[in-house]
């Protein structure tokens, strides 16, 4: 039996021109990359954030990393951000040997 889940993480990013390169950063997770064009820098920061988050999931450290970066659960509704945001979809798959379900 398999179960699929998609979680979308919305994060603030910053893009700025630095000489001939565009710098893309997600300051809240301290992830930075660059590209020759603004579009390439935006794609690169999306890829870098995806790889960062998936590596945290694979190592079992996502909760610790997010807390160290200052994140905590909240029930407050989303406030319209002033910064540009990027959506990072994370696709997860659970495989069960039998019909058991998670016992978390």
- 12-69 pLDDT, tens digit per residue, is 999 999 999 999 999 999 999 999 999 999 999 999 999 999 999 999 999 999 999 9
CA-to-CA distance for 6 and 73, rounded, in angstroms? 19
Residue 99 has a pLDDT of 60
Residue 25 has a pLDDT of 98
Residue 79 has a pLDDT of 67
Residue 96 has a pLDDT of 75
CA-to-CA distance for 4 and 64, rounded, in angstroms? 24
* pTM of the entire predicted model: 0.86
Domains within the chain, CATH numbers bracketed: 2-95 (3.30.160)
Residue 104 has a pLDDT of 61
């Amino acid at each position: 039996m398999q179960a699929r889940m998609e979680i979308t993480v919305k994060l603030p990013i910053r893009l700025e021109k630095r000489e001939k390169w565009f710098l893309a950063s997600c300051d809240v997770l301290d992830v930075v990359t660059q590209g020759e064009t603004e579009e390439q820098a935006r794609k690169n920061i999306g890829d870098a954030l995806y790889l960062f988050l998936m590596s945290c999931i694979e190592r079992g450290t996502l909760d610790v990393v997010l807390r160290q970066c200052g994140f905590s659960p909240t029930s407050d509704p989303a406030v319209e951000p002033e910064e540009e945001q990027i959506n990072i979809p994370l696709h997860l798959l659970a495989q069960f040997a039998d019909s058991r379900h998670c016992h978390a």
